[in-house]
Amino acid sequence: MALLHVSSALLETGWHRNVLFTVEGRMIVDIAPDVAPPPAAERLQGIAVPGVANVHSHAFQRAMAGLAERRGPEDDSFWTWREIMYRFLAVMTPNDVEAVAAWLYVEMLEAGFTSVGEFHYLHNAPDGARYADPAEMGSRIVAAAEAAGIGLTLLPCFYAHGGCGGLPPVPGQARFLSDLDGFARLVDASRRHVARLDGANLGIAPHSLRAVDARELRALVAAHPVGPIHIHAAEQTREVDECTAWSGARPVEWLLDNMGVDARWCLIHCTHMTDKESRRLAQSGAVAGLCPITEANLGDGIFEAPRYLGAGGRFAIGSDSNVRISLGEELRTLEYGQRLRERKRNRLGPPGSSTGRHLFDAARRGGAQALGLSSGALAAGNAADIVILDDTSPALVARTGDAVLDSWTFAAGDGIARDVYAGGRRVVAGGRHVRRDEIRARFTRTLARLPGNA
Ligand code: NGQ
Ligand code: ZN
């Protein structure tokens, strides 16, 4: 049992001072506000907020961050980026993926993300051959999460086609492919790896309506009656056009019409929705997994947040391509997109509310839902995912209450999280991950071998 005392904390019931947390194993078992620290307590000077789930990551892509920012002969797009990404992943070994993922998860924890949904599709060897263990690559993700101490929801991805309506895959997709039987074996093997990691979860991730046909998607949902289901949807206008040409319906519309989308579902991006799709998705109880930094980087478009949130829609944040790892920057980018489009300020959140607080609350709640976690709030009975912000940081000096979240979101740089507990374990102390040096050294050695110019 551990006792942690902080000077202030954002609890489920709002802001409180002098808060004592009792942590047992992975869980918070008691919270007492307005108490002096007992002698046995560890005293942490700072502001405690709940750790937030990062619901959408392709870990291996961290290794190519910054390598696709060079203008090509024709208009660069999501699709030209994807070709660079495919060339890059073709050379990555299981060891490489583990080293990159472990470092990425260190960065996530230092940024205040205490769990990650790994949308994992790099299953096969570079030539498409199966590894002896079909979940060899997934086991490396589990090992990386274990080394970093981040909460993991592993989302093995089903990928079978190269376009809507069951088009054949292209050669660059060989590492992702399986059929339904192979996928069942992959999920079973993944489950065994996940089981050895305390608190880890398993879901499934049909990649997108470009990679999964209608029959397969129905079979996958029927075979997995519990747990999170994540799918990419409506990120690019070309995808919307392709889906409409195939089915007569747009991607989000098709999923709503055909798949019984509910609170188990997390639809990643949903950048391009009509008014009606926004309203229907909001009513479904599903989570929209928004990845604002990646969506900006890839030129996807701007999510229609005021409309969707106004209809009660839930969202969560994902770092997706992992080109940058920053919770504040994700939330800021989401809000700034709306400001730039509407030429107005403070677009998200009801009148009178703090924008930072509103976005943070929505992201922590939606994140926990999308990953199937009992966290997302500092409350007894929830996982001890606790982020203690450095109240001596220049960006937070003289800030209290919601102003802390506004300043974190809009004014602070990186390095605001001083101490981070994930599943009851202190993984960041004094702003540094407890295994930072060793995990970083392995990452550095790995990057030195991978192509440095894609
Ligand atoms: C992915 N990433 O699976 O890594 C995708 C690109 C695709 C994003 N959509 C590949 N951001 O969607 O075909
Ligand atoms: Zn993605």
Q: Residues lining ligand 1, CB < 6 A?
A: 58, 82, 208, 232, 235, 294, 298, 320-321
Cβ-based neighbours of 428, under 8 Å, separated by 6 or more: 109, 110, 417, 418, 419, 420, 434
Residue 141, exposed/middle/buried by CB under 10 A (0-12, 13-18, 19+)?
A: buried
Domains in the chain: ranges and CATH: 2-49+386-422 (2.30.40.10), 52-370 (3.20.20.140)
Note the pTM of the prediction, 2 decimals.
Answer: 0.98
- The maximal CA–CA distance of the chain, rounded, in angstroms, is 68
Shortest-distance atom of ligand 1 to CA 121: 3
C-alpha 12 – ligand 1 centre gap (Å): 35
CA dihedral sign, ordered 386, 390, 391, 397: negative
Q: State the residue for tokens 């307005």.
A: 34
- Distance between CA 116 and CA 286 in Å, rounded? 18
- pLDDT in the model for residue 165: 95
What does the pLDDT read at residue 280? Answer: 98
pLDDT tens-digit profile, the chain (454 residues): 999 999 999 999 999 999 999 999 999 999 999 999 999 999 998 999 999 999 999 999 999 999 999 999 989 999 999 999 999 999 999 999 999 999 999 999 999 999 999 999 999 999 999 999 999 999 999 999 999 999 999 999 999 999 999 999 999 999 999 999 999 999 999 999 999 999 999 999 999 999 999 999 999 999 999 999 999 999 999 999 999 999 999 999 999 999 999 999 999 999 999 999 999 999 999 999 999 999 999 999 999 999 999 999 999 999 999 999 999 999 999 999 999 999 999 999 999 999 999 999 999 999 999 999 987 999 999 999 999 999 999 999 999 999 999 999 999 999 999 999 999 999 999 999 999 999 999 999 999 999 987 5
- The CA 9 to ligand 2 mean position distance, Å, reads 33
- Probe residue for ligand 1, chosen from 55, 56, 58 as the CB with the greatest number of ligand atoms within 8 Å: 58
CA of 305 to the centre of ligand 1 (A): 21
The bound ligand whose nearest atom lies closest to the alpha carbon of 266 is: 2
Q: How many other C-beta atoms can be found within 10 angstroms of the C-beta atom of residue 74?
A: 7
Residue 320 Cα: closest atom of ligand 1 = 11
Q: Whose CA is nearest to atom 1 of ligand 1?
A: 58
Tokens 């098709």, residue?
A: 254
Q: For residues 331 and 70, is the Cβ–Cβ distance under 8 A?
A: no
Spell 80-103 as b/e; 16+ CB within 10 A means b: ebeebbbebbeebebebbbbbbbb
How far is the C-alpha of 389 from the C-alpha of 6, rounded, in Å? 10
Residue 56 identity? H
Give the per-residue pLDDT at 452.
Answer: 87
Q: Which residues are catalytic?
A: 269, 320
Q: How many angstroms does the Cα of residue 323 sit away from the middle of ligand 2?
A: 12
| Index of the ligand 1 atom closest to the CA of residue 235 | 9
Q: Residue of the nearest CA to atom 10 in ligand 1? A: 82
**Ligand 2 centroid from CA 271, angstroms:** 13
Ligand nearest to the CA of 236: 1
Residue 116 and residue 150: Cα distance in Å, rounded? 7
Measured distance CA(365)–CA(404) in Å, rounded: 19
117 by DSSP, 3-state: which? strand
Please state, in angstroms and rounded to a whole number, the distance separating the CA atoms of residues 101 and 95: 10
Beta bridge partners of 232: 208, 268
Q: How far apart are CA 236 and CA 189, in angstroms?
A: 33
Residues 6+ apart with CB under 8 A from 397: 391
- Closest atom of ligand 1 to 295 CA is 11
Any alpha helices (H) in 285-397, and if so which ranges? 292-297, 305-310, 327-342, 355-371
Residue 102, pLDDT score? 99
CB 267 within 8 A of CB 203: no
Task: Determine the 3-state secondary structure of 102 from DSSP.
Answer: helix
Q: What is the pLDDT of residue 453?
A: 73
* Residue 10: count of CB within 10 angstroms of its CB: 25
Ligand 1 atom closest to residue 232's alpha carbon, by position in its atom list: 9
Q: Ligand 2 centre from 78 Cα, in Å? A: 12
The preferred substitution site among 290, 321, 322 for testing ligand 1, maximizing ligand atoms within 8 Å of CB, is 321
